[in-house]
Amino acid sequence: MHNNAQQYITRAIELAMLGHGFAEPNPMVGCVIVNDKGEIVGEGYHEKFGEAHAEVNALQMAGDRAHGATAYVTLEPCNHEGKTPPCALALIDAGIRKVVIGSIDPHQLSTGGVKSLKNAGIDVEVLDDEACNKLLAPFAKRVSTGLPWVICKWAQTSDGSTITPEGESPWISCEESINRVHAERGCIDGILVGANTVLLDNPSLTARGESPRRLPYRIVLDPILRSPSMQMFLMVTRKQFSFMIHQTMRLTTLAKQSLSKPQTGVLI
């Protein structure tokens, strides 16, 4: 392995993150191809769900220079044909000499790349890299448990308060943190709050900023349907679905008014 292998894996992680918001529900994956002189000859990442994977994009950039080179990839190359052909086969056909893998694929359908590569005579090294495992964590949780990856977000003062003594919600977040939150909102599938947040803050629950990559569902946990029909999360006209989740079939008149709005649903 090259002496600066960690540098190449770190670069592969940086590339993988460029697909955040586009690659999902697939995992974010990055790949760097390095020749025997330690020169990067190919880079790629999984740019969009349903399109070419990271290894294929990196091989396309490298061309003939991939022959005899080492591929550094954040995730075990897939070993099955789904929306795209197997990446393990692409590496084999390109004449790659060695593959360094950050994390093993937890998905039973696509794993097996290591075995295929070794059977083809390719040297394989699995790092079990902490940063690669962290990158993979949302995907790994979904395929192993069937549950979504949940990000908890709140703002608080240095003494641990989120509201004033009068019960008001002060503006605590700085501009930098707000921009970061909205950038992340534009890469995820849903924004969830409770009914009290709707009543006190009247949030729009949207991803604002430059060109969100995804339009997240707006989800409100409202057991007895207290959310007024005029709240912002129901008034915004962008193509985002809103859901209220409650525990009873009893619908108040106000709730019925809310449900009459386009793109609004209730989960029971």
Q: Which amino acids are annotated catalytic?
A: 55
Neighbours of 176 (CB within 10 A): 8
3-state secondary structure the chain: CCCCHHHHHHHHHHHHHCCCCCCCCCCCCEEEEECCCCCEEEEEECCCCCCCCHHHHHHHHHHHHHCCCEEEEEECCCCCCCCCCCHHHHHHHCCCCEEEEEECCCCCCCCCHHHHHHHCCCEEEECCCHHHHHHHHHHHHHHHHCCCCCCCCCCCCCCCCCCCCCCCCCCCCCHHHHHHHHHHHCCCCEEEEEHHHHHHHCCCCCCCCCCCCCCCEEEEECCCCCCCCCCHHHHCCCCCCEEEECCCCCCCHHHHHHHCCCCEEEEC
**Which residue's structure tokens are 């509201």?**
163
Cβ atoms of 31 and 12 within 8 Å: the answer is yes
Q: Give which of 209, 260, 266, 207 is closest to 235, Cα–Cα.
A: 260
